[in-house]
């Protein structure tokens, strides 16, 4: 084979392989994108006047700054599953934000929002149970509770669910 012909055949193959190699190289960073992080505030089950702040989706092993309304901050390291949390924070410190490195500041919400969500969740649980109990035997009975007193929102939901079940299923 002539030397000129072999260069003419090999040159486009080499150029195309270089082009493909650079395309594959450029595609690499897009695949290793950082997951989006989020955070939330919830009532602490052991301390009625305390709240927990939890963040998820952070880069594992890197520092996360949790900052309170008063400007005080706490630096924690994200766990292997990308979470950070702190428990028993007083109500006055709300609202909270989190930030990792040069990433965006994430608003976690306020204690008041957590309290409202908790009240709504209890009402929904009570409503569902009130419907289920009343639908089963068409008797409106007071909600059952164990040793601890019932949450007032649960009780309101239970009574509303029982009334709805009586009206709809027990005519």
Note the pLDDT of residue 61.
94
Considering the chain, what percentage of its residues have pLDDT values greater than 70? Answer: 78
**In-domain check, residue 17:** no
Considering the chain, what percentage of its residues have pLDDT values greater than 90? Answer: 20
Which secondary-structure segment (H or E) carries 135?
Answer: helix 111-137
Which residue range forms the structural domain that includes residue 136? 115-169
Among residues 109, 124, 151, the one where a domain terminates is 109
**Confidence check: pLDDT of 59 > 90:** yes
Among residues 109, 131, 154, the one where a domain terminates is 109
- Please, are residues 55 and 64 in contact by the beta-carbon 8 Å criterion? yes
Specify whether 129 is located in the same domain as 93: no
Specify whether 55 is located in the same domain as 95: yes
**Mean per-residue pLDDT over the chain, rounded:** 77
pLDDT 10s digits, 118-164: 788 888 998 999 899 888 888 877 777 776 778 888 889 999 999 89
Listed in sequence order, the residues at least 6 apart from 164 whose beta carbon sits closer than 8 Å to its beta carbon are 127, 130, 131
- What percent of the residues of the chain are helix, what percent strand, and what percent coil, each to the nearest 5? 45, 25, 30
Domain count, the chain: 2
Listed in sequence order, the residues at least 6 apart from 79 whose beta carbon sits closer than 8 Å to its beta carbon are 60
Distance, C-alpha 127 to centroid of its chain? 25
């Amino acid at each position: 084979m002539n030397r000129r012909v072999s260069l003419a055949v090999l040159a486009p193959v080499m150029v195309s392989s270089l082009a493909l190699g650079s395309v594959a190289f450029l595609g690499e960073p897009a695949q290793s994108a950082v997951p989006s992080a989020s955070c939330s505030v919830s009532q602490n089950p052991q301390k009625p006047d305390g709240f927990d702040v939890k963040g998820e989706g952070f880069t594992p092993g890197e520092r996360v700054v949790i900052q309170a309304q008063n400007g005080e901050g706490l630096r924690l390291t994200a766990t292997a599953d990308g979470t950070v949390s702190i428990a028993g924070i007083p109500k006055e410190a709300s609202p909270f934000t989190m930030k990792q490195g040069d990433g965006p500041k994430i608003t976690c919400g306020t204690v008041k929002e957590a309290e409202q969500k908790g009240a709504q969740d209890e009402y929904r649980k009570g409503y569902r149970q009130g419907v289920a109990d009343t639908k089963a035997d068409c008797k409106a009975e007071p909600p059952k509770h164990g040793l601890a007193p019932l949450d007032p929102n649960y009780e309101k939901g239970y009574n509303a669910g029982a009334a709805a079940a009586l009206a709809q299923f027990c005519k």
